[in-house]
Structure 1
Amino acid sequence: MTQTHRKHVVFDPPMMQFLESYRERHNLASFSAAVEAAVAALQQQELRAGYEQFARDYATDKEAQLEAETWLGLPMQEQE
């Protein structure tokens, strides 16, 4: 069973228009679904940034670098 929570949020008109347009273009069932899609995109963005930071700072072994490269879809070492 999924638990839901209600929150009151206020959007500027251009943001509201974008979310409504996004909902229509992607045939989402509700405005809430559009907001959920936005949150999911933010989560993915943060996860990707975290992998990129990990690759820069800590991925000194080849296995960890390969994992980061696979997830990001790009090489972490510059090609010569």
Structure 2
Amino acid sequence: MTKPFYEAELVAGVKALLRRQSGRLSSELRLGSVSLDEANQCVRVDEGSWYPLTDTEFVLLRYFMHHPGWGPSKEHLLN
């Protein structure tokens, strides 16, 4: 990208690069029938629709998906 450029051009260029990389670097975490899109903070179950998550929901779900079968204490989660 040559200078000068507009912010919209930069954003479009980054999005294009990310689309090209999507096949190589997945931001989707899967555990059973649950898929978590870490880049867009969305979740889906059984190949259904994607649903957006709040920041707290996303952090908790990602944590549980990275630690399957482990039940942390309330104190541990609050920390």
* Higher strand residue share: 2
Report if TM-score (shorter chain) is over 0.5: no
Which of 1 and 2 has greater Rg? 1
> Structure 1 length normalisation: TM-score?
0.30
* Higher helix residue share: 1
